[in-house]
């Protein structure tokens, strides 16, 4: 279950990307989350995924 609050979600996703998942696709597969929906939710707070950094910025 992912956090509902977008700021907490951002922190959670970036922590997992930093510590456990080598890519956003890997994170989404592990969490059974739609990648487009997650990206859209975080885009609503001004964040985009940077694959070079492997985090939302």
Are the beta carbons of 2 and 40 closer than 8 angstroms? no
Rounded to two decimals, the pTM is 0.94
In this prediction, residue 22 carries a pLDDT of 98
Locus of tokens 């597969």:
29
pLDDT digits (tens, 9 = 90+) for 8-41: 999 999 999 999 999 999 999 999 999 999 999 9
Name residue 50's beta-bridge partners: 55
Tell me, what's the pLDDT at 51?
97
H helical segments located in 1-57: 6-19, 24-31, 35-43
Per-residue model confidence (pLDDT) at position 33: 97
3-class DSSP state of 53: coil
CA 28/CA 57 separation, integer angstroms:
17
* Per-domain residue ranges of the chain: 6-56
């Amino acid at each position: 279950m992912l956090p509902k609050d977008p700021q907490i979600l951002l922190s959670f996703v970036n922590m997992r990307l930093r510590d456990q998942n080598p890519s956003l696709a890997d994170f989404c597969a592990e969490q059974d989350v739609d990648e487009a929906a997650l990206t859209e939710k975080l885009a609503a707070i001004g964040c985009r995924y940077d694959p070079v950094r492997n985090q939302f910025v």
